[in-house]
Amino acid sequence: MTISLDLLRSFLAIHRAGSITAGAEQLGLSQPTVTAHLKALEAAVGRPLFERRARGVLATAAGDELARRIADPIDTLQGLVVDELDEPVAATVHLGGPADYISHQVLPALAGRLANGLQLRTRFGLPDELIAGLLDRSLDVVISSVRPRRPGVQVTPLYDETFALVAAPRWYSGTPVSAPDQLRHIPLVAYAEEAPILRRYWRSVFGVRLTRSVALVVPDLRGVLNAVLAGAGASVLPLYLCEADLQAGRLRLLADPELPPLNTGYLAVRSDAGPRSPASLLRTILLETLREESAAGSQGPGPVDRVDK
């Protein structure tokens, strides 16, 4: 039996969605059609590609291997076909990412492009929900502070952000601290109740667990910065957000580790985005612009630990 492209596309959609029904919806086909495609493909390869479950399907080893081999070629072909068939028209690009990074870094970098026809809509959120939006096509491009590991997503490192422990001058003793006990009298400010950035900093720089509770939680790093500037306490912030205040003396560096913590941010698009699609064009602009800024503003010789937001 000849294995057609339609059979492979249906198989890949099922593999990525984990469900025949969801795969059919992604392709705009009926469930019986996609089921027939899968049965024909399994007959052609001579082995089952999925185990049927009460909720969806689970790929067999043969199914995972086939998906690995065909995903990139099919995505590339699909993107090229879309590029050739679609007329080049102005399109709105939907971008998702962390509120602080998009507001502080991305929007200033893209401001000049709006006069040249770029139409942009932004959404803030956490990595998992943003990648879900990418896969359901409500978003076209996602900036993620953790590496996405979902099928159907093309991921590229975008920037490195260095983290610093900072506070207003009133909390600075005159010398950098070397142990967390020296910070016991300073309230802590975090963007989440679990204080993940603070916890990672304590572990990587001081070599101990953070056992204190935070005094203030603000679910936006820009709000954390403003609270710290006002004297609310100390926090760990990305250097791009607080560097100007450090240079102006409005903030002080409470610790000065030889290797400060660093986190990599990633740029994600759907694997089937064509080279001339608006998503791919925005991806290229962001890589060119923000990588240059990240390289120019990088501090220190390397990371102690990765700080996941």
Per-residue confidence band for 1, with pLDDT thresholds at 50, 70 and 90: low
Determine the pLDDT at residue 13: 87
Per-residue confidence band for 301, with pLDDT thresholds at 50, 70 and 90: very low
**N residues, the chain:** 309
Write out the two tokens for 271. 């694997």
Phi-psi category of residue 189: left, alpha or beta, with phi > 0 → left and psi -120 to 50 → alpha = beta
The arithmetic mean of pLDDT across residues 183-188, rounded, is 96
What is the Cβ-side half-sphere exposure of residue 159, based on CA atoms within 13 angstroms?
A: 26
Could you tell me which residue, 163 or 271, shows the higher pLDDT? 163
Residue 297 reports pLDDT greater than 70: no
Lowest-pLDDT range of 53-62, 130-139, 276-285: 276-285
Instruction: Render the burial of 8-27: b for 16+ CB within 10 Å, e for the rest.
Output: bbbbbbbbbbbbbebbbbbb
Residue 64 reports pLDDT greater than 60: yes
3-state secondary structure 190-237: ECCCCCHHHHHHHHHHHCCCCCCCCCEECCCHHHHHHHHHCCCCEEEE
Residue 89 reports pLDDT greater than 70: no
The arithmetic mean of pLDDT across residues 259-269, rounded, is 92
Could you tell me which residue, 309 or 247, shows the higher pLDDT? 247
Determine the pLDDT at residue 112: 84
The arithmetic mean of pLDDT across residues 220-239, rounded, is 96
Determine the pLDDT at residue 291: 72
Per-residue confidence band for 94, with pLDDT thresholds at 50, 70 and 90: very high
What is the Cβ-side half-sphere exposure of residue 260, based on CA atoms within 13 angstroms?
A: 20
Q: Which residue has the tokens 């068939």?
A: 85
Beta pairing class for 92-97 and 119-124: parallel
Residue 300 reports pLDDT greater than 50: no
How does the average pLDDT of the chain come out, rounded?
87
Provide the H-helix boundaries in the chain.
5-17, 20-27, 31-45, 61-85, 99-101, 107-110, 127-135, 196-201, 221-229, 239-248, 278-297
